[in-house]
Amino acid sequence: MQIYWTLSLMMMMMILWCSLVHCIGSSIDDIPSAAELFGQEESYHVVECVMPLYFLCQNNNCLPESHLCDGENDCGDNSDEDHDYCAQMKCNVTTEFKCNSGRCVPKASRCDRHPQCRDRSDELNCVYEPCPKGMFSCANHSQCLDMSEVCDGSIDCKDGLASDELHPNPCPANVTCPSSSFKCTGTNVCAQPNWMCDGENDCGDNSDENEENCKNFKCPDDWFRCADNRCILMNNVCNGVIDCKDGLASDERHPDPCPRNVTCPNDFFSCEETNICAHPHWLCDGADDCGDKSDEDIEKCANTPCPEDWFRCSNTQRCIPPNWRCDGSEDCRNGEDEIDCNNDYVHEIFIPENNTLVSYVNHSNNVDLLESISKNLQSINNNDNSSSSNINNQQMLLPL
């Protein structure tokens, strides 16, 4: 609570300072160097983000605006997909359509048969005009295809029904697939061996995901069958990477199919029953990276030294790299890697001239930080001989 009131007071002081002395940033040329602002050469890093074309993530990554609220974690900390942020995004009701995810797309893209929203919500509940004569109409006229794309063994309709490859209508001539492929039950598609039971509806009728079909399908001679009946290429077996998603790492098991043929580098953990070398920060991180859970055995983790300068979590014995310590993200389950940290602060300067937000990230716990910054700003302003008028720039001092 004391920290909260201290930060609140510091922010109020900064706002008052900006009202008394014109804040820096009347143009891009007026931005001070971080060294001028903070004084310590190694106590900061600088992030420059041009808005609204770019978005400043909470971890200070700079992201193109087009990646916001698209269902993918592009920032790395998921701040570009924050539910509350996306829900509050406002679209221009005259020119834009708001996707279910919160993203804004041109209103002209609504019901145009070409999804602009990653979640395809701009093509939901649409009534389309019939396709031109001589073209094939996918379900609900959602796409119009050239007839050469129909019954060609490739699903071109994105209606979720594979309506251009359905057998017997519109495809009466049911194809005969090569022996190395699976003939989909209700469509004109030949599924490749690695499509079987991979979690994706490649056939269009989901027959490639049917457990019985996968069990009865024979993998080609130069392929390996995982414990869940998936087929993978032999060159993906015993390569030190788990390719079978069966939860057993069956393609990397020792001694069958893999003889113990790897020597792990120093600092890496040699998994007991698989051909995997586990990275130090994989140990006791809650994920079975070895495939045999040997990397999650607390006693083994405790007996495996952490690399030099790494931090060990006391409750799980996990080793984390030094740059994960005090980075604002809890990597130890009890959050101890974020205790007794120097507070990092972000000093933001907004330049209206070109919509640029410059963030100076200062790594310092100096209690006189605000006073020092204010003095530096005052000195820089006093040396500024330009006649630029007062600008209401956004300046904040926030914990990272």
Distance CA 99, CA 175 (A): 40
Domain that holds residue 393: 1-53+342-400
Q: Is the pLDDT of residue 381 over 50?
A: no
Cis peptide bond upstream of 265, omega within 30: no
Q: State mean pLDDT over 353-370.
A: 51
CB atoms under 10 Å from CB of 81, counted, come to: 19
Provide the pLDDT confidence category of residue 2 given band limits of 50, 70 and 90.
very low
What's the pLDDT at 67? 83
On the 0-12 / 13-18 / 19+ scale of CB atoms within 10 A, 385 is: exposed
| Domain contains 237 | no
**Confidence label for 49 from pLDDT (cuts 50, 70 and 90):** low
Residue 22 maps to a domain:
yes
Flag whether pLDDT at 230 surpasses 70: yes
pLDDT of 189 reads 94
pLDDT digits (tens, 9 = 90+) for 89-138: 888 889 999 998 888 889 998 998 888 888 888 988 898 989 999 999 99
- Domain membership of residue 116 (yes or no) is no
392, part of any domain: yes
Higher model confidence: residue 8 or residue 22?
8
- Among 44-58, 235-249, 368-382, the range scoring the smallest mean pLDDT is 368-382
Q: What percent of the chain has pLDDT over 70?
A: 72
Give the per-residue pLDDT at 28.
39
pLDDT band at 172 (very low <50, low <70, confident <90, very high): confident
Can you give the pLDDT at residue 393? 28
* 189 DSSP 8-state letter: -
| Residue 399 pLDDT exceeds 50 | no
pLDDT confidence of residue 39: 52
Distance in angstroms (rounded) separating the CA atoms of residues 117 and 110: 9
Report, as an integer, the average pLDDT of 250-255: 93
The pLDDT, as a whole number, for residue 164 is 96
Q: What is the pLDDT of residue 338?
A: 84
For the chain, how many structural domains are there in total?
Answer: 1
What are the beta bridge partners of residue 183? Answer: 190
Instruction: Calculate mean pLDDT across residues 192-220.
Output: 92
* pLDDT score of 369: 52
235 within 8 A of 221, measured Cβ to Cβ:
no
If one counts every other C-beta atom within 10 angstroms of the C-beta of residue 220, the result is 15
Let me know if residue 3 belongs to a domain. yes
CB of 28 within 8 A of CB of 396?
no
**Are 363 and 342 spatial neighbours (Cβ–Cβ below 8 Å)?**
yes
| 105 belongs to a structural domain | no
Asked whether residue 13 carries a pLDDT value surpassing 50, the answer given is no
pLDDT of res. 261: 66
Residue 151: pLDDT above 90? yes
Mean per-residue pLDDT of the chain: 76
369-382 and 2-20 helices cross at what angle (nearest 10)?
10
Q: Which of 311, 322, 399 is nearest to 363 (CA)?
A: 399
Contacts of 14 (CB under 8 A, 6+ apart): 370, 374, 395, 396, 397
CB 181, CB 191: distance < 8 Å = yes
In a domain, 34, yes or no: yes
Range with lowest mean pLDDT among 101-105, 168-172, 246-250: 101-105
Specify the higher pLDDT residue, 27 or 355. Answer: 355
Whether 396 is covered by a domain: the verdict is: yes
DSSP one-letter code for 343: P
Q: What is the pTM of this model?
A: 0.53
Query: Residue 368: which pLDDT band, with cuts at 50, 70 and 90?
Result: low
pLDDT at 1: 40
What average pLDDT does the segment 198-204 reach? 90
Average pLDDT over residues 317-333: 83
CB contact burial 38-59 (16+ within 10 A = b; e otherwise): bbeeebbeebbbeeeebbbbbe
Residue 204 pLDDT: 92
Q: Are 319 and 280 in contact (CB under 8 A)?
A: yes
* Confidence category of residue 51, pLDDT binned at 50, 70, 90: low
